[in-house]
Amino acid sequence: MTEFLENVPPRLTLENQPSSEGPYREIGELRHAGDESCGFEILEDFERFNQANDIYTRGQWDPRIRSEKVINWFKGMFTPGMGTKETDGYSIKDFALKNAGWMSTNLIILRNRKEDRTDGFLDWIKEFCPPNDEKMPVESPEIMSAEVKKACRILGADAVGITAYDPRWHYTKNFSPNTLAEKDYGIPEGLSNVIVVLTEMNYEAIRSYPSATAGVAVGNGYSNDCAMTLAIATFIQNMGYRAIASVNDTSQAIPYAIQAGLGEYGRHGLLIHPEFGPRTRIGRIHTDLPLAHDNPIKFGVREFCGICRRCSGSCPPGAIPDDLPQTEVITQSNIKGVRKWTVHAEKCFNFWTNQGTECGICIRVCPYNKRLTSTLSRLYFKCWKWLAATSLRKLALWLDIRLGFGERLKPGEWWRQERI
């Protein structure tokens, strides 16, 4: 019994804070050749992130974040009827739809909890079957990349990019909700390539933020991401190569997506894709399958975000910065040593838990968030993006506001309209 107690890691508290490995420059290569093309400005004091400092994990161990509302917010993901109000968008029906969207994600989250795993959110998604012992030869990484991208799309990806493993974005420690303590980081070594996949979230549902109704877009996005990344990993394993499916776990997702050529970083702290805007969920598959890498892209997002403040001006708790990219670490839940727009995670999460469901107003009002269902809408958005990337970007912003993009769709109207 004594030996068992000695092996139990100490629970995280205000006195026993998450560990830090110190400045990364003393451990690995601080800056990479492609950083400038990605828009990354890495500073000398850069430190890798500890998963225990994430705002959602702090909601489980940190008394400054954890409260009855936070506990109920977590329970509401699995418990019917929690958080309902006599308000449009927060009825039993709205929460029922939101939770239905999370169903597949919850099945994956819970399937290995007895092994102290939270697959897809705190741990990579454990495989269902072992890899093929016979490794299929790959003559051309370029051809293999094209074939993998096709497989990703048939398995549900709306966009795919490939990049190299970058240890800077990986967590130093994982977090155990069972022991409320740190645990060792468990991704296998030697997985040199990262396939990044995007799932588009539903445009019409996002328009109803803030509401529980809109939560179905997020939940369904995560469910699709979990199932898709696991399917892609299985595809690669069946060819005899190692592959790890990852969603919200193991690493920072946005830097990988930028390196894989899937978009740029926005003021609201989200990836902006050239077609789906900020309306995506990001998944990764780490693998040793030989693949060719994609190049980062730029289409004027940083410059446009510099003059646009629709997200910061629309954020109820004021969590989105209104000024230039900064280096200041605002809260414990922000990464250290990167110049960027940094969202105040504590203000954001507090607003979520106060209303009983997540918020996505910043996604809804972002000018890059458009529904592209017709030739005319695609042509308009193409012209608008060109304008936004020029010195006439203020005109692009004026047009977006003038034409009514980003206005809220009342949840009751969402239920009544035929369009999904």
The predicted pLDDT at position 81 comes to 81
Dist CA 319 CA 341 (whole Å): 11
The mean of the pLDDT values for the chain is 95
Residue 170 has pLDDT above 60, yes or no: yes
- How does pLDDT run across 265-304, given as a tens digit for each residue? 999 999 999 999 999 999 999 999 999 999 999 999 999 9
Residue 147 has pLDDT above 60, yes or no: yes
Which tokens go with 90? 């927060």
Task: Report yes or no: 410 and 210 within 8 Å, Cβ to Cβ.
Answer: no
Q: In b/e form, how buried is each residue of 42-59, taking b as 16+ CB within 10 angstroms?
A: beeebbbbbbbbbbbbbb
In the beta sheet, which residues pair with residue 243?
A: 287
The predicted pLDDT at position 127 comes to 87
pLDDT-based confidence at 128, cuts 50/70/90?
Answer: confident
Residue 65 has pLDDT above 50, yes or no: yes
The predicted pLDDT at position 6 comes to 55
- How does pLDDT run across 292-351, given as a tens digit for each residue? 999 999 999 999 999 999 999 999 999 999 999 999 999 999 999 999 999 999 999 999
Single pTM value for the model: 0.96
Name the residue ranges covered by the structural domains of the chain. 2-369+405-416
The predicted pLDDT at position 7 comes to 66
pLDDT-based confidence at 54, cuts 50/70/90?
Answer: very high
- How does pLDDT run across 215-224, given as a tens digit for each residue? 999 999 999 9
Q: Residue 129 is which amino acid? A: C
Average the pLDDT over each of 74-78, 266-270, 368-372 and give the range with the smallest value: 74-78
